[in-house]
Amino acid sequence: MSVRKRAIWVFGDYRNYFQNRVTLQLLSRARDLAKKIDGEVCAVVFGYWTDEWVDDALSRNPTFCGVVGEYIAHGADKVYLTDHPRLAAYSMETYALLMERLAKREKPETILIGATTFGREFAPRVAKRLGTGLTADCIGLDINEEGFLLQTAPSFGGNLVAEIVTPERRPQMATVRPGTFQEIPHDTLRTGEVVKVPLPKDLPADRVRLIRVEHRPPRGRRIEDAKVVVCGGRGMGSKKKFAKLFELAELLNGEVGATRPVVYADWADHDALVGQAGKHIKPQILFSFGISGAIQHTAACNDAKFIIAVNKNPNAAMMKKADVAIVADASQLCTALIQELKRCIR
Amino acid sequence: MVVCLKQVPMVSELPWDPATGTLRRELAEGMMNPACRAALEAALRIREAEGGEITAITMGPPMAEEVLREAIALGADRGVLLTDRKMAGSDTSVTSFTLARAIEKICPQFDLVLCGFATCDSETAQVGPQLAEELDVPGVGYVDEIAVSGQTVRMQRLSDNFLETLEMDLPGLITVTTGVYIPRHVPLGGLQAAFDTADIVTLDTASLGLDSERIGVKGSATKILNVTSPAAGKKNIVLTGTPKRIVEQLFERFDDKIGGAIGKDLKQDK
Q: What is the pLDDT of residues B55-90, one digit of tens each?
A: 999 999 999 999 999 999 999 999 999 999 999 888
Of A250, A340, A249, the closest CA to residue A288 belongs to A249
Cross-chain Cβ contact B120/A157 below 8 Å: yes
Cβ neighbours of B91 in A, within 8 Å: 133
Q: What mean pLDDT is reported for chain B?
A: 87
List Cα–Cα distances, A295 to A62, A136, A148, A202, in angstroms. Answer: 35, 18, 32, 46
As a whole number of angstroms, the distance between CA A55 and CA A121 comes to: 31
Give the pLDDT band of residue B167 (cuts 50, 70, 90): very high
CATH assignment of B2-219, given 1.20.1250.20, 3.40.50.620, 1.10.10.10, 3.40.50.300?
A: 3.40.50.620
The CA distance from B145 to the nearest CA of chain A, in Å, is 14
The pLDDT value recorded for residue A220 is 64
Contact with chain A for residue B168, Cβ under 8 A: yes
- Name residues whose C-beta falls within 8 Å of residue B175's C-beta, 6 or more positions apart in sequence: B35, B39, B114, B115, B116, B117, B118, B125, B128, B129, B139, B140, B141, B142, B143
As a whole number of angstroms, the distance between CA A260 and CA A265 comes to: 9
The complex's ipTM works out to 0.85
Better-predicted residue by pLDDT, B154 or B235:
B154
As a whole number of angstroms, the distance between CA A346 and CA A288 comes to: 25
The low-confidence residues of chain A, meaning pLDDT below 70, are 1-3, 51-65, 156-159, 218-220, 346
Cβ neighbours of A218 in B, within 8 Å: 161
Residue range(s) occupied by CATH 3.40.50.620 in chain A: 7-196
Does residue B13 surpass a pLDDT of 70? no
Amino acid at A268: A
Better-predicted residue by pLDDT, B207 or B16:
B207
**B216 touches B90 (CB < 8 A):** yes
The pLDDT value recorded for residue B131 is 97
Cβ neighbours of A208 in B, within 8 Å: 138-140, 166-168, 172
Residue range(s) occupied by CATH 3.40.50.1220 in chain A: 223-344
Contact with chain B for residue A100, Cβ under 8 A: no
As a whole number of angstroms, the distance between CA A244 and CA A329 comes to: 14
The reported pTM is 0.83
- As a whole-number percent, the residues of chain B with pLDDT over 90 amount to 55
The pLDDT value recorded for residue A3 is 66
**B32 touches B67 (CB < 8 A):** yes
* Superfamily the domain A7-196 falls into: HUPs (3.40.50.620)
Cross-chain Cβ contact B243/A208 below 8 Å: no
Q: Which of B16, B91, B92, B123 to probe the A interface (max A CBs under 10 A)?
A: B123
The model's pLDDT over B197-243, given as tens digits with 9 standing for 90+, comes to: 777 999 999 999 999 888 888 888 988 888 877 666 678 889 998 99
Judged by DSSP in three states, A308 sits in strand
The pLDDT value recorded for residue A5 is 84
Strand partners, B79: B56, B200
Amino acid at A298: T
The pLDDT value recorded for residue A56 is 43
Cross-chain Cβ contact A123/B126 below 8 Å: yes
Domain boundaries, chain B: 2-219, 237-262
Of B127, B221, B230, the CB nearest to A166: B221
The pLDDT value recorded for residue A58 is 46
The pLDDT value recorded for residue B265 is 74
Q: What average pLDDT does range B41-53 have in this prediction?
A: 95
Biggest CA–CA distance in chain A, Å, is: 74
Contact with chain A for residue B171, Cβ under 8 A: no
Of B178, B231, B266, the CB nearest to A321: B231
Cross-chain Cβ contact A127/B246 below 8 Å: no
The pLDDT value recorded for residue B28 is 64
Does residue B9 surpass a pLDDT of 90? no
The model's pLDDT over B176-198, given as tens digits with 9 standing for 90+, comes to: 998 789 888 888 777 777 777 77
- Name residues whose C-beta falls within 8 Å of residue B246's C-beta, 6 or more positions apart in sequence: A326, A328, A333, A336, B239, B240
Judged by DSSP in three states, A155 sits in strand
Kindly indicate whether the domain formed by A223-344 is annotated with CATH number 3.40.50.20.
no
**A334 touches A239 (CB < 8 A):** no
The pLDDT value recorded for residue B180 is 86
